[in-house]
A and B are shown apart, each in its own frame.
Chain A
């Protein structure tokens, strides 16, 4: 059921934008149904959740079985309380929002609605998750959503920076927490929260893990030294602050502390972290709150203080403190949400929340004043409210610390009392500032900019929250019974006296301390109030917020310096750096550890191999020394053909075939481009540079060669291809194992490769044609050719030279025509194409396949191009290359998807023997279809190359020549 509820929130979040478009701000009421349903359901589960024998309601759905991650939820006492708080306040805030936001705020209202309800769902997940990894996932969802919500005013740079600050701080904590989760889960052998708590693992790793988990809690709950993001987050609209920064998100950290306390509160590291950071936060936040003039910032610092207080109580480790902590957690959610919403209403009605500008709010909104005063009383711990009950219990639990006053616990007691004094002071300051006119300075500040009467919902929602504070205060003994099952699990420290909730325990020590706190708080406030604080004086020279920004700037500096150092702008230097790293890291490792070298080496496989090797080596060295381009190109080709021969000798006919074909095509393409470039290489590096490069080249060669030796020497398993032979025939339906691998076993890789080819071809075409107009000209030419199909194309005004050998021959300049080449082309073109088709179909069983076949077909096109240039190419294949590329990829993709329609996995090969009349039995393998796709893509690449680098460059040369001729004419004139 919990999973269903979380899912319900998700559905509401997704539907929210549509609902907002249909209903306007009233859509908030619809999405509020999700948290409201959660409240109703949770309330009905009281007896099941708080049953100590079962440990609460458990629900588990298998999620990632291999990793052992289940969608495990558990609704126990703590989760039940948190669920009610999170979902209850969430529903009320959503209702409040429906009257708070304007109709059209540039589409941001829909984002607000979606994020808020999604946030409520994520919080529900955090508090009910029984799996630490799942808890982490929900935790980070709340982080991301809070980023979106804080950055609601996306046009304000300060708002986006505040959002980023909150995101960076809480995510950093979250990452630390993830490490902690893994440490803890590894040590405990399970990620189940309930199991880790029932049988807590021990050891250094566990301590480190728990401290890292606490780091997540500390950042999320804005404890010192990460408290600065919370006041910064007040740039969000007030209902968001009310929910995220009072009731829900910041409570996630408190929840985590409460959740882990039963298992780990006894750890000294835990005690230190929780008590020191919590106590410092309580004091710092409360002190800052007493000096604010902005009501919302006052509440923000008050929240920081209260979060520290809650962490101290819930992490303290005694049942009494836990009871007080849980009570105050509920109390804080009620009064702080009420006060934030009050500020929202004041702001909405008057346009300001500066206590120096607010006038006559009590007279204009008496009900609001009443409810806010009640909430502030609860915050100050005045009787009959729940805040009083909680604070009484807290003082009772902390008085008489077990290890004496000169200890961490003793200090915590003092801090709590001192913090409570200041809490009283800022509570009074809130009421005084908001609802009396005394806070106005005598001169200088104008009154509120406007006034309109708030709608009833804006008053009723905070009112309801403060009434709940009274109800719970009066019925606090019942509350004690409800949370009892959780309280008894925390028993690392015994209580000095039994702690109970209630309004009246007689004239006891806690009551006297409370009275003292009220009096001291009142004095503090009156001393503070007389001193108008315009600019807050820093307490210490160290400012956490500023330190954070210094750190971020330092990070920027580091990025700048390292980028500037490593990326000098020169491509050779950059590539050289990469090679140096390649040599330095694996190379030095190989020098240090030479154990994996093979026991023996084979000198050579025969004289043919040695001869081919010598030729390749000689060609490579000469190519490196070549200064003329063509010489280098031919020498590199020699190495390519030589490599093909070495492949063949090694037993790879497919490789050799493809390599020879690719080498031929490369040669043609290189020559096509080189005609545009100078005969010699334009660069002439110095001797020093050349030597450095040679040294680096040698080093890289040695390291890679060594790595290969090590790889060969450390092989312990059978090659993956060993058992492939029978499977290739049975499953792949082919005898050529390499081809079966390409089109079946590793077909997904081939698919990726096809996409790369497609991108390459597109890139080539865009670099040559540059503009759409140029491409359009090509398209028009093709359309014309298609219109005149079958007839030879002729230049206008030219006499036909009888029947030409090739269709486009007559368009070629007579001086460039070669009759012999035309005749040869005429004779062999169709034969080559037929051969390519044969290679395609036989490739599954013999050397060949789509790649080789596509290149062969491309070579046939190449011949047509060389004989008759662009016109001939158009006549040979009058389609645009993208058509072939797209069709090819579509066919390959289609053959991948097709089996899925019949319930098989993608790319599954089917084999069928079909009887065709005349031909006899035909062996049909579906992966042939995939190979047809490969064929078309490769053919598309070839056509693209010829059309771009061939005829595209031709026409550029022609244009330049005619422009040059015009210029010569002009000059001669």
Chain B
């Protein structure tokens, strides 16, 4: 198969500029990048699908048809992109409502994890020894709780125990 170089170059340009914009902090700029990348990748499908041909409609013309399967794939991708565009724009709108800007801020949770990692802080997890001992203690604990709450033993019982 001999791929179409023009289409390939166009697709690569779209992807390159798309990635460039996609790495922006502005949501709308990133969306522009996403749309460019999307167009580029759709074109790559077409490049990879084979040579150009007649529309894949039976009885439309006599020539060799273009491969219909990648077309169907790309068609769904195009429609999904529309939904995606609307969603990201709604996000940008919401971001403006909250911050006045459509910039993506740093994720506070990731920042927190990074800080924990830098200070080697595993949180309030018990140490290995504590865990092992807690399990041992729990295993040795009687099952009283399984049946009924046990009142502490009466003092005379205790006295008797001491007497032995």
CB within 8 A of A673: which of B89, B113, B118, B137? Answer: B89
Give complex CA distance A603, B9 in Å.
Answer: 10
- Asked if A683 and B24 make an inter-chain contact with CB atoms under 8 angstroms apart, the answer reads yes
On whether the beta carbons of B21 and A682 are closer than 8 Å, the reply is: no
- Proximity bits, B107-142, A CB within 8 Å = 1, else 0: 111110111111010100101110110111111111
Q: In chain B, what residue has the closest Cβ to A701?
A: B16
Q: Are B145 and A670 in contact (CB under 8 A)?
A: no
Known contacts: A563-B117, A616-B10. The answer to whether A347 contacts B5 by CB under 8 A is: no
**Docked pose: A445 CA to B160 CA in angstroms:** 10
A738-B22 contact given A161-B131, A549-B132, A729-B58, CB 8 Å threshold: no
A387→B65 CA distance, assembly (Å): 82
Interface residues of A in 556-591 (CB under 8 A from B): 556-557, 560-561, 563-565, 567-572, 575-576, 579
Chain A 529-567 interface 0/1 with B at a Cβ cutoff of 8 Å (1 = within): 000000000000001011111101100110011011101
B70-106 residues with Cβ-Cβ distance < 8 A to A are 70-72, 74-76, 78-87, 89-94, 96, 101-104, 106
CB pair B57 A753 closer than 8 Å: no
Within 8 A of B (CB), among A934-969: 938, 941, 944-945, 948-949, 953
CA distance A208 to B122 in the complex (A): 37
Inter-chain contact B75/A654, CB cutoff 8 Å: yes
Flag B131-162 by CB within 8 Å of A: 1 or 0 each.
11011111111111111101111000110111
Contact B110 A572 (CB under 8 A): no
Considering only CB atoms, which chain B residue lies closest to A740 in the complex? B68
| B110 / chain A contacts, CB cutoff of 8 Å | 563, 567-569
Per the bound structure, the CA–CA distance linking A620 and B40 in Å amounts to: 10
A830 at interface by CB-CB < 8 Å: no
Contact B32 A633 (CB under 8 A): yes
Q: Report chain A residues within 8 Å CB of B16.
A: 694, 697-698, 700-701
B14, B55, B57, B108: the one contacting A616 at CB < 8 Å is B14
Q: Say which residue of A440, A728, A768, A949 sits within 8 Å of B58 (CB atoms).
A: A728
Shortest distance in angstroms between B112's beta carbon and chain A's nearest beta carbon? 9
From A165, A569, A698, A855, contact of B114 by CB (8 A): A569
The one of B72, B127, B146 in contact with A742, judged by C-beta atoms closer than 8 angstroms, is B72
Name B20's contact: one of A237, A565, A694 (CB within 8 Å). Answer: A694
Report A-chain residues with C-beta under 8 Å of the C-beta of B75: 654-655, 658, 738, 742, 851
| Distance from A708 Cβ to chain B, minimum over Cβ atoms (Å) | 5
Instruction: Report yes or no: A600 in contact with B69, Cβ–Cβ below 8 A.
Output: no
Contact status B21-A623, CB under 8 Å: yes
**A 52-76 binary contact with B (CB < 8 Å = 1; else 0):** 0000000000000000000000000
In the complex, what residues of B have CB within 8 A of residue A735's CB? 57-60
A235 touches B53 (CB 8 A): no
A572-B25, A669-B86 are contacts. A677–B92 as well, Cβ < 8 Å?
yes
Scoring B19, B127, B145 by chain A CB atoms within 10 A of each residue's CB, the highest score goes to B19
Q: How far is the CB of A679 from chain B (nearest CB, A)?
A: 12
Given A569-B110, A651-B52, A749 and B19 contact (CB-CB distance below 8 Å):
no
- Asked whether B72 lies within 8 Å of A746 as measured between CB atoms, the reply is yes
A941–B86 contact, CB under 8 A? Answer: yes
Alpha-carbon distance A652/B55, docked complex (angstroms): 6
> Within 8 Å of chain B (Cβ to Cβ): is A877?
no
Whether the pair B80, A753 counts as a contact (CB closer than 8 A) is yes
| A601-B3, A700-B19, A713-B1 given; A650·B46 CB < 8 A | yes
In the bound complex, residues from chain A placing their C-beta under 8 Å from that of B53 are 650-651
- Given A646-B43, A701-B13, A712-B3, does the pair A297, B23 have CB atoms closer than 8 Å? no
B22 near A575 with CB under 8 A, answer yes
Question: Separation in Å of the B79 CB from the closest CB of chain A?
Answer: 5
Cβ distance A97 to chain B, nearest Cβ, rounded Å: 12
Is A467 positioned at the interface, with any CB of B under 8 Å from its CB? no
Interface centre among A569, A616, A697, A749 (most CB of B within 10 A): A697
Q: Which of A133-141, A758-766, A790-798, A899-907 contacts B (4 or more CB under 8 A)?
A: A758-766
| The residue from B10, B23, B74, B152 contacting A655, defined by CB atoms under 8 A apart | B74
Knowing A231-B139, A713-B1, say if A651 contacts B65 (CB, 8 Å): yes
**Contacts A543-B132, A708-B44; is A662 near B81 (CB within 8 Å)?**
yes
Q: How far is the CA of A237 from the CA of B28 in the complex (A)?
A: 59
Give Cα A237–Cα B93 distance, bound, in whole angstroms.
Answer: 57
Q: How many Å lie between the Cα of A165 and that of B135 in the bound state? A: 10
The contact of B78 among A568, A662, A948, by CB within 8 Å, is A662
Q: Choose from B68, B102, B104 the contact partner of A737 (Cβ within 8 Å).
A: B68
Contact of A621 among B17, B24, B145 (CB under 8 A): B17
From A603, A647, A683, A757, contact of B26 by CB (8 A): A683
Taking CB atoms, residues of chain B closer than 8 Å to A237 are 143, 146
- Chain B proximity of A861: nearest CB distance (Å): 14
The interface size bin for chain A is 35 or more
- Contact A750 B44, CB 8 Å, known A162-B139, A604-B6, A941-B86: no
Name the A residues within 8 Å of B145 (CB-CB). Answer: 153
Contact assessment for A650 and B52 in the assembled complex, using a CB-CB cutoff below 8 Å: yes
Residues of B within 8 A of A450 (CB): 150
- A641-684 interface with B by 8 A CB criterion: 643, 646-647, 649-655, 658-659, 662, 665-666, 669-670, 673-674, 676-678, 681-683
Taking a contact as CB atoms under 8 Å apart, the answer to whether A757 and B83 are in contact is yes
Task: Decide yes or no whether A629 CB sits under 8 A from chain B.
Answer: yes
Q: With A and B bound together, what is the CA distance between A105 and B146 in angstroms?
A: 8
Contact of B142 with A352 in the complex, beta carbons under 8 Å: yes
**Is the Cβ of B18 less than 8 Å from the Cβ of A571?**
no
Interface pair A693/B7, CB less than 8 Å apart: no
Residues of B within 8 A of A223 (CB): none
Question: How distant is A935 from chain B, measured CB to nearest CB, in Å?
Answer: 12
Chain B residue contacts of A347, Cβ below 8 A: 142-144
Contact B138 A724 (CB under 8 A): no
Q: Is the CB of B66 within 8 A of A650?
A: yes
Known A621-B13, A694-B20; judge A643-B43 contact (CB<8 A). yes
Name A571's contact: one of B25, B43, B49, B129 (CB within 8 Å): B25
A639 to B70, CA, bound (A): 20
A447 in contact with B153 (CB, 8 Å): yes
Interface residues of A in 136-159 (CB under 8 A from B): 153, 156-159
Q: Is A911 an interface residue (CB 8 A)?
A: no
Q: Using Cβ atoms and an 8 Å threshold, which residues of chain B touch A650? A: 7, 46, 52-53, 66
Distance in angstroms from B122 CB to nearest chain A CB is: 6
Asked if A721 is at the interface (CB within 8 A of a chain B CB), the reply is yes
Residue of A nearest to B50 (CB): A719
A599 within 8 A of B: yes
**Residues of chain A from 425 to 480 with CB closer than 8 A to chain B in the complex:** 437, 440, 442-447, 449-450
Counting CB contacts under 8 A, is A353 at the interface? yes
User: Does A311 sit at the interface, judged by CB under 8 A?
Assistant: no
Nearest B residue (CB) for A750: B76
The answer to whether A187 has its CB under 8 Å from any CB of chain B is no
Contact yes or no, A721 B67, CB < 8 A = yes
Stretch at the interface among A192-200, A329-337, A497-505, A605-613: A605-613
Given B70, B82, B122, which contacts A666 in the complex, CB threshold below 8 Å? B82
Specify which chain B residues have a CB less than 8 angstroms from the CB of A674 in the assembled complex: 28
Say yes or no: is A258 at the interface (Cβ < 8 Å to chain B): no
Do B68 and A741 touch across chains, with their CB atoms under 8 A apart?
yes
Q: Is B128's CB under 8 angstroms from A681's CB?
A: no
Q: What are the residues of chain B within 8 A of A666 when measuring CB–CB?
A: 35, 81-82, 85
Most A CB within 10 A of own CB, among B35, B89, B134? B89
* B-side contacts of A624, CB under 8 Å: 17, 20-21, 36
How far apart are the CA atoms of A440 and B96 in the complex, in Å? 74
Q: List 14 interface pairs A-B (beta carbons < 8 Å), by A numbering.
A: A156-B138, A352-B144, A449-B151, A556-B125, A564-B116, A579-B23, A603-B6, A647-B42, A666-B81, A697-B17, A697-B20, A721-B70, A735-B57, A944-B86
The 10 closest A-B pairs by CB, nearest first: A564-B117, A651-B66, A760-B83, A549-B128, A569-B110, A701-B16, A158-B138, A697-B19, A697-B20, A741-B72
Extra pairs beyond A653-B57, A673-B93, A693-B20 (6, CB < 8 Å): A447-B153, A599-B2, A662-B81, A677-B93, A681-B28, A719-B69
